[in-house]
Structure 1
Amino acid sequence: MNPFRFIHAADLHLGSPFKGLAGAPEAVRRGLAEAEFGALRRLTDTALREEADFVVIAGDLFDSADRSLRAQAALHRSWSRLAAAGAQVFAIHGNHDPLGLERARFELPEGVHIFGAGGNAEHRPAYRRDGKPAAFVYGISYDRRAVTDNLVPGYRPAPGADFHIALLHANVDGDPDHDAYAPCRLSDLLGAGFQYWALGHIHGRRVLHEYPHVVYPGNLQGRHAGETGAKGCYIVDVDASGGLRLTFMPLDEVRWLACRVSIEGIADEERLLERMEESVYGAAAAADGRSVMLEMVIGGRGPLHRRLESRNVDELLAALRERLGEPAAGDGSGWVWVHRLTVRTAPDLDLDRLAGEDSFAGEALRLARRLAADPDGREALLKEALEPMTRNARLRRLLDSRGLPSADGLLERAAARLAGMLEREEA
């Protein structure tokens, strides 16, 4: 077979709104509004620079079914650039942007194919830029938002190609953090006869299996505090023997990050603000010149705990922002905005001694430590606690927009609160 290179992307979510930014400076709001479009330009630039033979996009091209005119124009412009360079594009629609709804009329550039919805997966030949055959590409788009059927039985490799790539927007093995659209099992995919499953829907980057490869590239651009770290696409190289090499390429314009600042060894608020400022610039340096939306957690044990517990967190955040300037500038051309500050400090207590006592406090601390050593138990407890809220559509949307709380963080805060109550009792 002929070696070739393609790019696997998913979940562009063009036109995605960012919430909770009423108090943010204009530079931050403008940067977030442009982030998805900037990530799309980076995707296109990467495909051209790396001389990819074709690009596959596994669903959720747009964030909503009504897809804005600007978002459609941006995607058409991107695809036109790729087509002009001889690179094909294959795409499907997902739950956020199902087919069949009214849209602006843009004629697809030559070499761009959007797979239809329903029935069995259709396939199209993919070629190298020199015209030699590379693979067959397959896909099924959503025709409605909530597709609850397993779509995998509709995928069957067709004769005539050595390599088969399937585009699928689905929840594999029931990821609890995402809606169960087009649910399927990993075993369904492994037995279907494809060499590469180009997945979308899950926003975290994951390689579920190799040979055959089952891959989620994640979304191009983080959308809230629950989507931290680098976001982008995979560059996939296929050699003449069918061997694969995957290279992750960051494409995000704005990176969501979290950092922790400890109060240990700090006696006053001035030194704490200095340490917080150092963390901000450390986050900026780690973001490769990108703009940063930063969540900061103040933790640890020390004499500052009692004062921080009573101090208004908003005042502390305002003092940090004033110290940095709004927004804080990083080492590159981007900015850094601390969008959330959380205090999870604890008093100076001998917790080992308390945990060894035959008392209510000792039993509570022992339970917290058992949960800390049991990830499955923590997650089960969190799921049970949140279950009533996730049944409410409005509360669920709020949780989705802010990101689900960390079980580790909740447990840490509960233990710190217990320690604080014990300290007050002893005082």
Structure 2
Amino acid sequence: MWSLQNLLFIICIALKCVTCEAGVIHVTGYVGREVNVSCSYDEGYESYEKYLCKNDCGDSDVLITTSNSSKNKHRIHDDKTSRIFTTTISDLHSVDAGKYWCGVTRNGKDIYTEVELKLVPDSCCDTVTKVQSYEGYSESVSCPYESQYQNSLKYICRGNQPSTCLQQALITSDTKQNGRFRLDDDKVSGTFTVTINSLTQNDSGSYLCGVQRNSDVDVFSAVELEVKEWCCVKSTTINGTAGYPLTLQCLYPRQYRHNSQFLCKGEHRNNCTKMAVSQRRFTLQDNATSSSFMMKITALEADDAGTYWCGTDSQWRVGNYTKIELSVFLQHTSTVTPGTTVGTRIPDAALYVVYTVPVALLLMCVLVIVYKYRCLKAGDTTSKHTPKTKSSKEVMGATGSRVSLRERILIELCVYNTLHYK
């Protein structure tokens, strides 16, 4: 009879162990963080004391009880409505991993639930996807997941600490749009995509894509985003004359030779207006051998002055486009440059003074010389000191000496008077 009782006892113990193994609660925590161990109990035990213990669960193995809810790095809380008590273990270290027991005190043998605690490093991951982009661009980050998580919560956070990722999530699949961030979940392909608009260099850094798992730690994949400064643009300055043809040359990398070519006008590339090549004045001609294309303008206009952008990469990758500053000159007018207005140049009045005044003075001088010369000669021929009978002979006979000297003196006097004439 004794042997039969022993056999029944052994069978009961064995059944209890099988039940325990089938009902083991698996919990995973992060080293250096805290973890919650939650255990449920049956109705009727709401007022009973609950506790958490390790190893053989002797008196020295009890870590915390509901009658003393805080001790060392353990805290316990009993939610009697849901009939679940939860123990929080903080500042986890490798020695904290192992087997625990959730216990409910009662008369006779207590009720136990086995807990297996596993610890993992609070970092991720062995593989990191690197993404490069530039300031002002939009960039999408792809995060794959397994098919069993189609309906699970997805999210993304900054940093590489899985323990706090969900609490610090930038966006989740529940919200889908949050400022510059948008989340799209493609359940067919098993990938959710996070798009970040208007990138800045401050967006550079580590990111974690997370998929929530209620029974274990969440699943993560790591992304390293580098946002480069938008710089190093090939820039050129071109001058043209209104009414004349002009050719703009745009170079592009050879790998983009099959892309669509474009030319747009505007102070900034983000708001420039594409120039329609269908306009009669604009003609586009590609030269694949030199990795460039030409935009020909048949008749340049004043309004064509401004800033242009051309290239073959619609994503505006640095170095794959050219910035052109175009100035337009008008005939007999001022230069037209971006931000200035056209104004007609007024001739300088001083130019007319310099060239017209000397001509008038010279003409006046000649007239005065001729007039005074005639007056002096007329007065000389009627002088009362010259005898009338000899006048003709003296004049005619003295042309080589006395009369010529006299006329010379009169002319010099006339010139002197003319130069000092007011």
TM tier relative to shorter chain: under 0.3
Structure having greater relative contact order (Cα 8 Å, sep ≥ 6): 1
TM-score normalised by structure 2 residue count: 0.23
TM-score normalised by structure 1 residue count: 0.22
Q: Which has the larger radius of gyration?
A: 2
Structure that is richer in helix per residue: 1
